[in-house]
Amino acid sequence: MRIFKITTSAISAGAVALALSGCDNLNGDVVGGEPESATGLVNDGSAATAITDSGNPVPGNFICSHSVSATNPDLVIGTNGLVGGLLTDLLGSLGLDVVTNLLNSVATPEAAADGNLDTAAGVTLTAGLLGGTLSSVDLTAVVREGGTVPSGYYAVAGLSFPGGIANLSLFNSITVRTSLLDLPQEVATLDQSAISLLGINGSTVPSAWVGFKATRPYDKLTISLVPGLLAVNVGNAVRIHEFCYDGRFKIPSAS
Ligand SMILES: [Ca+2]
């Protein structure tokens, strides 16, 4: 994996409109995430946030304003952080049962990029699926052909953990990565201690925005989930609510 560290350049809002033009008039505005109808991820600046800018944590809590739904993306289930031909090659080398189990690990993947924060892809961990050839359950939003998200925007996934705090400990790592033309661009990884901090606000259902500010353009945005316990079945271990490319940060008021 190559990791590029390049100074983020400012870019006007017009640039993304240009890059994402021809997208069936979708503008990527998000709906949902209202506190009174909370389905696990509230979009009022109260959800835990682990977003970096050039490797440094951005202070405050993320509020998603725009989703990659603007591009009518395809949602692809994968593993090992692979995209494109490398993923196809790996899946082609595996038995049908393994591939079927992997594909069945993510329910309603399209809900992770439908512009609605109240809908989510659900990830199930199946004992025995991971730990050998496969190391992670991935979900990638593939920006529609010809479109890219320019540098200066975000690569962020909104997550919730329906099983509560205990579900945070299921994961060894959570990684968000980008690629362009199937070449790896940037990556941010939460290790176990960073994941455990996501539950620090004490919500019954922990939720979080994870990812980074993109210093390189991308056309694929992937989240990789690596479980720590490989011998358990966990249904609905994590929900992937939305992939967001833009938003702002709110500093929680002291109380
Ligand atoms: Ca959604």
Q: Count how many domains the chain has.
A: 1
Distance (Å) from CA 112 to ligand 1 centroid: 4
Please report, as a single letter, which amino acid is at residue 144.
R
Under the banding of pLDDT at 50, 70 and 90, the label for residue 135 is very high
In whole angstroms, give the CA distance from residue 244 to residue 113: 8
pLDDT, tens digit, for every residue of 61-74? 999 999 999 999 99
Under the banding of pLDDT at 50, 70 and 90, the label for residue 203 is confident
Is residue 151 a part of any domain in this protein?
A: yes
Is residue 105 a part of any domain in this protein?
A: yes
Distance (Å) from CA 191 to ligand 1 centroid: 25
* Mean pLDDT value of segment 156-181: 93
Res 101 pLDDT > 50: yes
In whole angstroms, give the CA distance from residue 63 to residue 233: 32
In whole angstroms, give the CA distance from residue 238 to residue 162: 7
Q: Please state the pTM of the whole predicted model.
A: 0.88
**24 compared with 116, residue with greater pLDDT:** 116
Percentage of the chain exceeding pLDDT 70:
88
Give the count of beta carbons closer than 10 Å to the beta carbon of residue 52. 16
Is residue 36 a part of any domain in this protein?
A: no
Is residue 90 a part of any domain in this protein?
A: yes
Distance (Å) from CA 164 to ligand 1 centroid: 20
Is residue 25 a part of any domain in this protein?
A: no
pLDDT, tens digit, for every residue of 5-57? 332 333 334 445 445 544 443 468 999 999 887 788 999 999 999 999 999 99
Is residue 139 a part of any domain in this protein?
A: yes
Distance (Å) from CA 73 to ligand 1 centroid: 12
Distance (Å) from CA 67 to ligand 1 centroid: 9
- Give me the chain's average pLDDT, please: 87
Distance (Å) from CA 6 to ligand 1 centroid: 31
Is residue 253 a part of any domain in this protein?
A: no
Is residue 30 a part of any domain in this protein?
A: no
Distance (Å) from CA 207 to ligand 1 centroid: 14
Burial annotation 127-157 (CB, 10 A radius, 16+ → b, else e):
eebbeeebbbbbbbbbbbeebbbbbbbbbbb
Distance (Å) from CA 91 to ligand 1 centroid: 26
CATH code assigned at 148: 2.60.120.260
Enclosing domain of residue 142: 53-240
Distance (Å) from CA 245 to ligand 1 centroid: 13
